[in-house]
Chains A and B, each alone.
Chain A
Amino acid sequence: MARSIDFLPKETIHGRLLPWVVGVMVFLSGLALVLGLGLQALTSGWKAGLENSLTVQIIGPDQGVRDQEAEAALAVLQDWPGVENASRMPVSDIEGLLEPWLGSGSVPDALPVPVLIEVSLVPGTQIDLVPLSRQIRTVAPSARIDGHDRWLDDLRVLARLVQGVSAVILGLIVLATITVIVFATRAGLAAQRDAVAIVHLIGAEDRQIAGAFQRRFLLVGIQGALLGLAGLGALFLAAYTASEIIQTDMLPSLLPPTYVFYALLLLPLPAALITMLTARFTVKRALGDMN
């Protein structure tokens, strides 16, 4: 009964630029999503790596003492519940870690190189470091245990910060889009005031009139979303090509995981919903005020 009727002119009622404005909004929210989801995936990857490991450093002054303490510490660690594996890092690996500072070639004997023990934990276990380090200290006084706590805390803060910032950005984009659509709808309604008055007098219900506007703005939303997605696609293609050319280990890890791209493909849905519902709501409110 309340079928919507298309009584609006075929020509644009909202200005030709509006789909582009919505397109920019979709593009920006895509970037915010990539920032939020992508960095979150990155940090949680790091976090998982750090959470399942410990490092024990033995920094005694004398090579013999270090070896002796290392043996004792290893024995304690291997028997500790929750520890999956503990092993001494080969000297060559340690020299590799020091290379940027000391240059290649063997480290001078005079320089005490600490012993590093890498400990991996059974996935999912939480180890209380206090009793463990007390136990190790009794057999290896110069041992220092690093549970990566500082790093983990920093990462947690970073992840939450990035998430929060991208949520705020998304919220602002949605608000800005709604505002733009409200103004465009009001302008369109004002321009079509005569036509609206006529169909009213012929017996059209408010929702039929709102429906006509809603349909136009749904189209704006879809056009805008496609423009925005095209922009995002071009951007990622460029980023991907750049990472291929540069061939570093850094860039590919900065590209977000694939599920983020699927999330982006869903963007037209909220875009269309927001433009459509905003237009409908604006028209119904304006008509309600008219009487």
Chain B
Amino acid sequence: MIRFDNVGMRYGMGEEVLKDISFTLEPGSFHFLTGKSGAGKTSLLRLMYLAVRPSRGLIQMMGTDVVTAPRKTLPELRRNVGVVFQDYRLLDHMSAFDNVALPLRIAGAPESQVTEQVEELLAWVGLKDRMQARPPILSGGEKQRVAIARAVINRPRLLLADEPTGNLDEDLSRRLVHLFLELNKVGTTVVVATHDLRLVHGIDAPRLHLADGTLAGTGDALADEDDATNDETPAPQPEAAMLEGLPG
């Protein structure tokens, strides 16, 4: 699904914020991406959702070499990638409904299907009554849920979530991470960037750990010493019951 080979990336003329990144994500896998604030999590995700190109190295996504891919092939690739941006990036002049509908409309889905799917998903994330509200009057957590709904509405092959639960209470966080897990079960490859260790510990999934722009190792055997919010309380195991009601 994704292969990084010796990737380096810098912003403008600055220092490299990512160095010598090499890893492979198998189709259908679920990974956490951890690391301190400023370690480069968002930058790594931006490479994956094709917002920036690396300054060196090789990136393959779904069999395409994205470094050399011509510009006009990128939209098709991006339609297979759902992204929850750390700063949501909702369109402020559009209702929650229209924001979530955007990926479907861009892909050319018929309007009847758009209405049905968007209403169902927004109801599922608890925003049934806020569908016509615009982002500026939504709370942080509500915006985050709209952003998550927009990322998954298209059932993408790859889901990239950047700190998707930062503004959500514990219950809601777990509910939404289980939405990701459920999508993962039906084939979506998922990468969740977070420093919320309760989330990481609650789910049995491998970790990509970034420290200072380099990949320090994978697997959850890794110690958490360098993480800012060290929380050792064991998180509850996911309950199957929470997955019910997921839009089918």
Contacts and interface: CB of A to CB of B under 8 A. Distances in A.
Contacts of A204: 75, 106
Given A201-B78, A203-B79, A208 B106 contact: yes
A175 to B, nearest CB: 30
A202 B71 contact: no
B108 A203 contact: no
Nearest to B94: A7
A291 interface: yes
B149 to A, nearest CB: 13
Nearest to B103: A202
Interface residues of A, number: 22
B64 to A, nearest CB: 14
Interface string B28-63: 000000000000000000000111000000000000
Interface in A195-222: 195, 198-206, 208
Contacts, number: 52
Contacts of A194: 89
B106 A9 contact: no
A10 interface: yes
A156 interface: no
Nearest to A1: B108
Contacts of B51: 201
A7 B108 contact: no
A199 B49 contact: no
A203 B109 CA distance: 13
Contacts of A2: 108
A216 B49 CA distance: 29
Interface string B80-114: 01010000011101100000001101111000000
B225 interface: no
A277 to B, nearest CB: 20
Nearest to B79: A203
B75 A205 contact: yes
A208 B103 CA distance: 12
B15 interface: no
A201 to B, nearest CB: 6
A194 B90 CA distance: 10
Given A7-B91, A9-B93, A198-B89, A203 B49 contact: no
A291 B94 contact: no
B106 A291 contact: no
Contacts of B76: 203
B78 A202 contact: yes
A179 B157 CA distance: 44
A203 B107 contact: yes
A202 B75 CA distance: 8
Interface string A1-14: 11101010111000
Interface string A49-88: 0000000000000000000000000000000000000000
Contacts of A11: 93
B102 A7 contact: yes
A179 to B, nearest CB: 27
A11 B94 CA distance: 12
A45 interface: no
A195 B71 CA distance: 19
Contacts of B106: 5, 199, 202-204, 208
A219 B93 CA distance: 20
B173 to A, nearest CB: 24
A210 B185 CA distance: 37
B83 A201 contact: yes
A34 B21 CA distance: 69
Contacts of B49: 201
A203 B78 contact: yes
Contacts of A198: 89-91
A288 interface: yes
A203 B103 contact: yes
A3 B78 contact: no
Nearest to A206: B72
Interface in B181-230: none
Contacts of B78: 200-203
Contact of A203 (B71, B75, B89): B75
Nearest to B105: A5
Contacts of A1: 108
Closest 3 CB pairs between A and B?
A203-B79, A9-B93, A203-B78
9 contacts: A5-B106, A7-B102, A199-B102, A199-B106, A200-B78, A202-B83, A202-B150, A203-B76, A203-B78
Given A7-B94, A198-B91, A204-B75, 9 more contacts: A5-B102, A5-B105, A195-B91, A201-B78, A202-B78, A203-B78, A205-B72, A206-B72, A288-B71
